[in-house]
Each structure stands twice: as structure tokens, then as C-alpha cells.
Amino acid sequence: MTQSADKHVILVTGRAGYIGSHACKALSRAGYLPVTLDNLSTGWGGAVKFGPLAEVDLLDRPALDAVFAQYKPSAVMHFAALSQVGEATRDPARYWRNNFCGSLNLLEAMLAAGCRDLVFSSTCATHGDQDGVMLHEDSLQQPLNAYGASKLAVEGLIRDLGASDGLNAVIFRYFNVAGADPEAEIGEWHQPETHLIPVMLEAVAGARPELVIHGRDYPTPDGTCIRDYVHVCDLIEAHMRGLDWLRAGRGSRVFNLGTGVGFTVAEVIGACRAATGRKVPHIYGPRRMGDAAALVCGSQRAHEELGWIAARSSLKLMIQDAWRWYQTGGYSG
């Protein structure tokens, strides 16, 4: 951190998105000023509630430099990324340009401004398809699509800039994030919506005809994909602990975040029916290209070194929190 940096200012990329907006609420409550950096291409302007917004694209380096000069952040939480698996397979160039080139611009702007503390939102999709394997930080990384590959490349870039320029980074790899702010102030909203739980809730509420389950012939107990789900509030608690880790001067570290328990799509549908008291209209469609059959993530390192526990990450509670926010009208955009 340079002398001119404001230790209370944290730059949050993708803050108008689902996870970034929850991070900003947590930062604000902890006494920080979260400054949003978002181009609003996939985020929701209504989620920007906890500090100023800089409507800037990560591909616009001069605009990035201006934001750092104006706000002088002491650290960055980097969430901004394109993340739809099907689209990543159909249009990989867009994902490499946005996720990798945008991150390169951001990191260069950080270093030019003397800002060297980064909390980076990566993904367990860097590990690819490893059925029956509990993914940990040292598991083989072999991504199946441009989303995972571009995130893996950014991880490599971060390591190289750490060695050459003193960038300090905590990297979190996680997979399916679910739930919503328990106070129903913010929640999960994407345009278009592709994530399983909000799509299920739209189907339950009649906002869409049905949920389409992508594939029923995977090598899993009921033929549908298995994923590990983490409550968004638990995830943000880890990010706050990652920020504390950097401020304590403990150096760069990678953490996988999960519950260690996976659920099939069919099991999530059953949990949704139990949580809402309503049936989930659904049909089966073909597999999506680039989807792994099963991804389950352990978090022993985060438990031991960060003291992190996924306290709110029961499937029932995640769906109940998301449903509560839905019923407030949050999903209306």
C-alpha cells in the first residue's frame, strides 16, 4: 500500500452482480467504503446500494487508471467475469477477452497505482471434470471450457505478477453459490438467468413455464449433474477473512471453498419443493457442452488457516433465503 492509498477504500469489480453486491454490503458494515467498478453488462444497477459506482469496462485502461487516481483504493476484490458455461463453449474468444484481458488491465492498473492487495474470485471449474474426487487446492487443473481456462490463466498471471511486482493475492476457488441476503435486501439476479436455484424459483412462481434440466444420462445416482452449493453469505465471509489475511501481511494463498457435499439437480428440485411447499415444473433437455458431471469442493485449508466455516450452507436454508428475496419482488429486476 502506498502512503496515498486510503485503507478504508476497497475497489470491488462486478459489484452490481450477485456476489459482488453481497461483498459490498459486508464491506460497508465492516467500516470500509466499497467502490463499485462495473460496466453493468450483466449486473443489476439496483444492487449498487453501499457506495459509489464507477461505470467502467475492464477493457478500458485509461478509465481504470482514472478510478484508481480518484479513489485511491488500498485493495481490490475482483469478481467481474463472464461465467455461462454454454456461452463460453460457443464463443470462447469473448470469454478470453473479457475475463483474461480485462483482468490483465485491472492488475496493471493496480500495480501502476501502488495497490498490491487482491482478493480474486476464481472457480473450481479450473479443475474440470473429476468425478468422485474431492477437489482441493492441489488437485489437477484441467478446465473443460473457456470460462474455467480463462480463470486459470488469470491465476497464473497473478502468480507471475506476485513474483515480479510484489502483488499479494488471496485466490478463492468455489463453484455453485446460492441463497440471498437473509435480510432480503439483495439477492441473485442475472440477465439472462441461467443459475439453477433462481430458475427453479421462477418456475415455481410461474414466471417461466418450467425448469430445463440439461442432461439425465450423467454417471450419477439419478443421471443429473452433481454440484456443491455454498451460501453467498458464507462465501463473502471467506472473502472478508481473505482481506484480513492480506492486511496482516501473510502473503499470497489459494483456498478452495465448498461444503464437501454434492447434490444432484434432482435432489435440489426436491429440496426446493420442501422449502417452498410448491412443485417445480421441469423438463429434460440435452446436455450443455462443457458441463462436468460432478464437482465437489473441500475447504480444509480454509477451515484451518482462515477459520472459515460454511455455517449457512444447508441446501434448505439457501433456498429459503433465495425464496424470501424472490417474494419481496427482488427478482423483478
Residues 229 and 85: their CA atoms lie apart, in Å, by 17
List Cβ neighbours of 93 (8 Å cut-off, separation of 6 or more).
none
Q: Is 147 a catalytic residue?
A: yes
212 phi, psi to nearest 5 deg: -100, 120
Whether the CB-CB separation of 215 and 286 falls below 8 Å is answered with yes
* Grid cell in block for residue 303: 477451515
* Grid cell in block for residue 247: 492486511
Q: Give the residue from 190, 121, 178 showing the smallest Cα distance to 333.
A: 190
Residue 306 has, within 13 A of its CA and on its CB side, a CA count of 30
Q: Give the residue from 159, 164, 163, 161 showing the smallest Cα distance to 253.
A: 159
Q: 226-227 and 294-297: which strand pairing? A: parallel
* Grid cell in block for residue 154: 488469470
* DSSP state letter for 305: I
In the block, residue with C-alpha cell 458455461: 85
Residues 159 and 169: their CA atoms lie apart, in Å, by 8
Active-site choice (18, 32, 95, 147) = 147
3-class DSSP state for residue 115? Answer: coil
The residues assigned a catalytic role are 147
